[in-house]
Structure 1
Amino acid sequence: MSPAEPDGEGTGIHCRLDELLEQRGMTLTELADRVGVSVVNLSVLKNDRARAIRYTTLTAICDVLECEVGELLVRSRT
């Protein structure tokens, strides 16, 4: 197994999309429309099931939410 492959227990990365959306009074559907990605893809990210994300998508999400990458994606400490 290479270091980049998950070990079956997740990546240890948590997406704070729910919290950021709530703080901004925005829905997942509104974010999807503004970013140009599907609600399904954002839901996968929001539920910590994403295995990858394009930098362009990450940048667009951060632009719309007016946040930094480190506010959106954090390491889980479980």
Structure 2
Amino acid sequence: MPIIINLDVMLAKRKMQSKELAEILNVTPANLSILKTGKARGIRFDSLEAICKALKCQPGDILEYVEEES
């Protein structure tokens, strides 16, 4: 998939653990893991907003487009 999720990078920059972010977002660590590993098929804008608010970042800090090679 050409969309890369850089959630681990932002968590490291903010010195926050996944478990802590999951608690802030009120989601299970398993659901957060699905997003972190790129296995999620989509993300709601309100969820993205909550992540950005918790990590004090922009959506572009979390999501990255990388063109696939043909």
Q: C-alpha separation between the residues in 2 aligned to 1:15 and 1:66?
A: 16
The CA RMSD over aligned residues, in Å, is 1.0
The TM-score normalised by the length of structure 1 is 0.81
Q: Which has the higher helix share?
A: 2
Structure 2 gap ranges (5+) = none
Structure 1 gap ranges (5+) = 1-9
- Residue identity matched to 2:6: R
Which aligned segments of 4 or more residues in structure 1 are displaced greater than 6 angstroms? none
Aligned-residue offset at 1:76: 2.1
Find 1:30's aligned residue among 11, 15, 20. Answer: 20
Aligned-residue offset at 1:77: 4.1
Aligned length: 68
By relative contact order (CA 8 Å, sep 6+), the higher-ranking structure is 2
* 1:21 aligned residue: 11
1:10-62 per-residue CA deviation (whole Å, 9 max, x = no partner) reads 2x100101110011110000000001111111111111111011111110000
Question: Larger Cα Rg: Structure 1 or Structure 2?
Answer: 1
Q: C-alpha separation between the residues in 2 aligned to 1:20 and 1:77?
A: 22
The TM-score normalised by the length of structure 2 is 0.90
Q: C-alpha separation between the residues in 1 aligned to 2:63 and 2:51?
A: 11
Q: C-alpha separation between the residues in 1 aligned to 2:47 and 2:27?
A: 8
